[in-house]
Amino acid sequence: MAPSSPAGPVEQHSSVLPVPDEIVLEIAQHLSQKELSALSQASRRLRGLAQQAGLYVRKTVVWNDGTGFRDASLETLEQMIGYATRVNPNINLAIDAIFQVDTPGDETASAFAQAVGVIFNLVQRALPYLASLQLTLPWSLPDDVYTPLCTHPAPRLRSLVIHQWLAPSVPIPQNLFTGEAPVLSRLSLALNDIDPASIWQPVPAFRDVTQLSFAPHGTNHHVRLSQLFPRLKDVKISPLIPPTSTSHKIDISGLTLHSLTLNRAPDLLTDARALKDIPVVALARALGLRGVRPALVLAGFAFDPQPDARALSRAFYAVDVVDRARDVLPPSSFSAAFDPFSNPWDSIRY
């Protein structure tokens, strides 16, 4: 006898279970802006989670000493900040402020200072909504230029870029963002001729930075990164001028790094032996060189089939780096048959 069917309709269950918000948010925090944008279009719930993960609306403002602010970018930025303030406080903003000086002079200096003041005051208004900030400042700045950025926390700021390399840099104040930028993890600094007594003091807003791009141009002072950025995991160091003595070098002791990228030989560090404890190290100036495991990437370089003179010179630079690095790194860090013109991707993957 065939089994009887149960009375009434059979309850249907979805084969797809809803993913909890906290798991979606954890995943979303690792997505690119393009991916977050796609996620935000799926539903209102996912749009909110994408915004929590850092989805932002970006505005680039360009000022030139000959033309002033480009197009209507300044007005558009003001409108965006007004919209966030009055209509949608959940929106995240990204501001890229780029200043260009072609004809230095007293008149230009006055116009430049005024334009920087306008932008910094707008950034001050945007701080509650700011997820990303880039400041490209090529010329001398007044000592109090950062004052507007020291009045409020930056609760959503995840990425900060400050580039001042063509003139002596104004010290970054210790009370930047009133010391509060709890999700700031990515920082890029290009600083020139810095006063060690004022700049190499810890900035509390930087305490949770894990990714640092550091270009101390013209800086002739000992810098211990662990005192400034205690939670660093990934570092790129790109000084334009090589260190001249042991007191002018960069100290990475006290950090547990996952990766380190150098644009010069390891002797810019106080102790190059620290490289042996870092899983991924790259020398960015060697053509085609990429970070691989174990300690130093020196098993080969990806050159064109017929390298030109510039490529050859970089190859010999890399070989020189290898010779110096052998003094501080174990033999296991190097290929047994080192050939600077071989293609490393035949045998190396990462």
Q: Which H/E stretch holds residue 23?
A: helix 21-28
In this prediction, residue 286 has a pLDDT band, given cuts at 50, 70 and 90, of: very low
pLDDT, tens digit, 9 for 90 and up, residues 25-51: 777 777 777 777 777 777 778 877 877
Please tell me the distance from the alpha carbon of residue 234 to that of residue 252, in angstroms, as a whole number: 11
Which is more confident, 149 or 170?
149
**pLDDT > 90 fraction of the chain, expressed in percent and rounded:** 28
Whole-structure pTM value: 0.70
Structure tokens that stand for 303 in this block: 């050159």
Mean pLDDT within 121-145? 91
Predicted confidence at residue 332, as pLDDT, reads 40
- The residue with greater pLDDT, 306 or 151, is 151
Burial of 61: CB neighbours in 10 Å, binned 0-12, 13-18, 19+: buried
Closest by CA position to 99, among listed 143, 78, 68, 133: 68
Q: What is the pLDDT of residue 319?
A: 38
pLDDT bin (cut points 50, 70, 90) of residue 326 is very low
- Please check whether residue 272 is in contact with residue 266, taking contact to mean a CB–CB distance below 8 angstroms: yes
Whether pLDDT at 309 is above 70? no
Report the pLDDT value the prediction gives residue 344, as an integer from 0 to 100: 30
**Between residues 148 and 5, which one has the greater pLDDT?**
148
- Alpha-carbon distance values, 324 to 29, 53, 161, 264 (Å): 40, 44, 33, 12
Split at pLDDT 50, 70, 90, the class of 248 is: low
Which of the two residues, 80 and 11, has the higher pLDDT score?
Answer: 80
The whole-number average pLDDT for the span 135-161 is: 91
Q: Are 296 and 333 in contact (CB under 8 A)?
A: yes
Tell me the pLDDT of the chain averaged across its residues: 73
Q: How far apart are CA 244 and CA 217, in angstroms?
A: 13
Non-local (6+) Cβ contacts of 258 within 8 A are 233, 234, 278, 279, 280
Give the highest mean pLDDT range of 15-19, 181-185, 252-256.
181-185
Q: What is the mean pLDDT of residues 248-262?
A: 86
